Amino acid sequence: MNADGISRKEALARLASFAEGKRHLVVVGSMNADYTVTTERLPKPGETVNAGPLRVLPGGKSGNQAATAAKLGADVRMLGAVGDDDNAGFLLGELTKAGVNTDAILHVPGASGTTVITVDSHGENTIVYSPGSNGRVSPEYVRDHADVITGAAVLGLCLESPMPTVIEAARIAHEAGVKVLVNDSPFIPELPKELIDNADILLVNEHEMSQLLGIDEPEDGDWDAVDWDAIVAQMAGFGFDQAVITLGGDGSVVIDGGETHRIVPVKVDAVDTTGCGDSFMGTILAGLAAGADLVSSAQVASYVSAYAATGHGAQASYGTTEQVTAKFA
């Protein structure tokens, strides 16, 4: 495996270049109001624990990914749906503030998407998701805005939208030669063949990869010691020659062109890991849109997602290029 550690100076220089992309990127999917409380520890089943004040923060995996990329200077177009409740204006306002173009977002009757999040003193969390308006994002809506997708450099997808809609967005992008990055989250163990055939890059964590490929996780948690050549072959057989496997606090591994690249972690004192994975993916989208390769984009994403772990919430914790640079310079 190639060890791809780069200096902070080089990583931050690459980050600055992400704002120079000549084409926009598109994220199709979810926006949620995150109802978040902090506790000393996560409750066990049937247990009640005391928590701090309730905070309502902007979230949703797709909204998070779009906000991260926009804060890094990328030209980001968001496709999705909000309801007619107070959260709708809140979510759109926060995305607009981050720099996301929300002109094509659909407004539907009923509640916007919501999550209920509990965060413990170590920054770990549990999340319960209620789709709301996200479940109303239809294939027809995506087709109505096909021009937004076909003009993009890259399309980002996760699975908080109806699967037929995700597949249709991927198909439109693939047929137009637009690169498609799919995050199998919320995780499903069997991705539809039609989605795999129309996607280019898969992003999963180590647990999800193990379930997808039917492999055992190392008992000691040492992913550096596993047979990555075998994993590359299995991932190709599954349908992806390019993939990113995140390893939590241990960094990530990029599979590209039959080779594996070990991306070293950026160590910080984590406050809240909510949305850090979305920040990682949003950074990769920004990098790809700017013409960076997958490995370089993942190297930079390590810094951006580490910055996010030092703040509370998802979008609320994301930094601009200037803020991330100041943190790690």
- Which residues are catalytically annotated? 278
Report residue 316: phi and psi, to 5°: -65, -20
Amino acid code (one letter) for 176 = A
Strand order in the sheet with 125-130: 55-59, 32-38, 113-119, 125-130
CA 114, CA 96: separation in Å to the nearest integer?
A: 19
Yes or no: say if 226 and 247 are a contact pair by the CB < 8 Å rule: no
CA 152, CA 35: separation in Å to the nearest integer?
A: 33
Q: Can you count the helices (H) and strands (E) in the chain?
A: 12, 15
Strand partners, 126: 118
Amino acid code (one letter) for 239 = G
CA 318, CA 113: separation in Å to the nearest integer?
A: 20
